Amino acid sequence: MEFGKLEREIRIDAVPEIVFDVVSRPEHIKRWWSDDASFEPVPGAAGELVWGDRAAVEPITVVDVDPPRRFAFRWVAPEGRLPDAGNSLLVTFELEPSGDGTILRLTESGWREKGWEAAVLEEAFRDHERGWDGFLPRLQGYAPSVVPR
């Protein structure tokens, strides 16, 4: 099994403008993914995703914001460091219109570059697979309920 890139694709019954807001704005992210989120959706912005009562806090750095087509951020950096190109995973949401909905393609890359030993890499990769497989259906269910702003 190759652990270089995690990829998922789903169809969402909402237009790309709505889906873009749902994957790029903290007030929406905390409705389908993390328990809290704080960041500005602008390239270079630093922020965090929080699960539980701050039991898990992941710093993020926004990399790419191209509404309504693409949103990308980095996360999973060494403790105490901001995620950057040399020390983290890159999550990219690419959105494509599909009839009255949207095809969302999620890619999480940078696994090999983390330098983890094989067992740690596989465990982390599997953990993220399970996570996205659980959270993307929540995104799929939540996005159609969002009213355009």
CB 46 within 8 A of CB 61: yes
Greatest CA separation for the chain: 45
Question: Which uninterrupted H or E stretch holds 51?
Answer: strand 46-51
pLDDT, tens digit, 9 for 90 and up, residues 12-46 = 999 999 999 999 999 999 999 999 999 999 999 99
Domains of the chain plus CATH, in order, are: 5-145 (3.30.530.20)
DSSP 43: T
Q: Which residues pair with 20 in a beta bridge?
A: none
pLDDT tops 70 at residue 1: no
Residue 48: CB atoms within 10 Å:
16
Task: Tell me the pTM.
Answer: 0.96
Please say if the pLDDT value at position 61 is more than 70: yes
pLDDT value, residue 38: 97
Alpha helices in 1-113 (DSSP H): 16-24, 26-32
Structural element, H or E, at residue 66: strand 56-66
Chain segment 82-129, per-residue pLDDT in tens = 999 989 999 999 999 999 999 999 999 999 889 899 999 999 999 999
The pLDDT score that the predictor gives to residue 3 is 85
